[in-house]
A and B are shown apart, each in its own frame.
Chain A
Amino acid sequence: MIPLPKVLIVDDEADYLAIAAHIAAKAGCAVITAAAALKGVELAESDPPSLILLDVGLPDISGFEAARRMRRIPALARTPIIFFTVRSELDMVSEGLKLGAAGYVLKPFDPDDLSRRIKAAVFPA
């Protein structure tokens, strides 16, 4: 049996974590979660996922810093990262996309849009 693509979701807001996990599971993915950035980096390094959904305002280090650390890990250098955040300032969005993010989704989000982005990242055409 082909294993399901794995999505790591890092978010300290339990509600959004649960909604995103539900959407990713419905899109056909196995889901692992973390409520803090450093835990997310650790999980991603020990078991590299196919996609990382990363909040920006996390309690320990920012999602941007977490993304930089993940990019330095060879197995994660090309893993798609989608930022998933309330931070809608132009400078923040520009910085996130400059980090090479595959996507930048503003919260509150459109569930259909998030589902499409997850599928496009883990099941590329």
Chain B
Amino acid sequence: METQAFLVQQIVNALFLGSIYALIALGYTMVYGIIQLINFAHGEMFTAGSFIGLIVLGALQRMGFVESHFVLSMFVVFAMAMAYVAFLGVAIEHVAYKPLRRASRLSALLSALGMSIFLSNGMMLSQGVSDRAYPPVLGTGGIHVLGARITYGQIFIVAFAVALMVGLNLFVKKTKLGKAMRATAQNRRMAGLLGINIDKTIRTTFVIGPALGAAAGVMVGMYYGSVRFDMGFIPGIKAFAAAVLGGIGNITGAMVGGMLIGMVEVLWAAFLPSEWKDVTAFIVLILVLYFRPTGILGERVIEERV
């Protein structure tokens, strides 16, 4: 393999991993922006989405629907997974976070942690302890660019991720509900006084954030080919780091942060001793935050009490 091809291939690897992190990070950052809560259970939403995707995809494949209507069945798989996890998100918000909206932030954080443990063990009990194989739908075909191999699966997933991110940005900037969300994020009380339904806005956030996480879960399942009950934990932590790195509460920041973490991890492992890649990712995180204490794109200094 030539050096140029090697480099291009590694950059493709990094972009792909980065876009997965970015997509998960969006869910963290949205929830944080609105209610200043680190939603520890977000990694589990990602896993839940992956499982539902597997269930729906398996059912469709047994009916022979995937071969005949590929695009439609992909749409159904993603839609079902996202809808299910949106329900889950709303339910969790109602049960575990809403009663704590006025309590100390740490109490809410702990409640989220409890939910995370509960969901991950619940999925372990209901879906089994071992990893489950995803039906191979993406195939192994691909194209060669500058000597690097890019599979159609990768292209499909990155395109879909970018579409989701652009769609989200438009939603938040242009629609009425999106504007309400931004207003709530800025000043909840003022937004309430201006006639914005705060409860509804927060609920919307808990529909969109988890749904994006679910989409990422289905993508990861399809691309890597397996799902397991605890697979949300490590990407969850990395995506959380990405969200903070980009400036938590900032949607563009989450994308930048996700890409950066993906880049650091892949490029370090590509050229230097690979066992130190996670250490490096965290050191980069700390250095960035040392020089820019509110993240790369974060502006507001959020003052709060623990």
A, B co-complexed: no
Interface residues of B, Cβ cutoff 8 Å to A: none
